[in-house]
Amino acid sequence: MKKHDLVPCLGWGSDEYQRLLIDYFLLNKPHESMYYRYPILVCPWCGDEECGFISVKIDREDDVVIWSDFLLNDNKIDVGPFYFHWENYKQTIEDTYGTAGIQ
């Protein structure tokens, strides 16, 4: 996905922004405009979804999290699905807080 010149949305930005994204990825709340989809890669300069993004549909079935239906803006990307064990996934998502060192 490097060819798209986007960066991961997790781990940088204000405390409020990081907490919001963590809530999205842990399925605690739907995205305000994409609902069941979540941006995983965003603009490297501002993080704004208006600049372009890659999003993913995230589902949870019991102890398994599924990332599927990847889109670059509105165009399907032929990758996935990916499956994650809930406890590992949850810990990894929570551990992204502050990883870029920009608060």
Average pLDDT over residues 11-34: 86
Quote the CA–CA distance of 95 and 73 in Å, as a whole number: 27
Q: Dig out the tokens for 77 from the structure.
A: 């990307």
pTM: 0.82
Average pLDDT over residues 5-24: 82
Average pLDDT over residues 1-11: 68
pLDDT for 103 beyond 50: no
pLDDT for 80 beyond 60: yes
Beta carbons within 10 angstroms of residue 5's beta carbon:
10
- Cα 94 to Cα 26, 56, 67, 80: the distances in Å are 9, 18, 17, 22
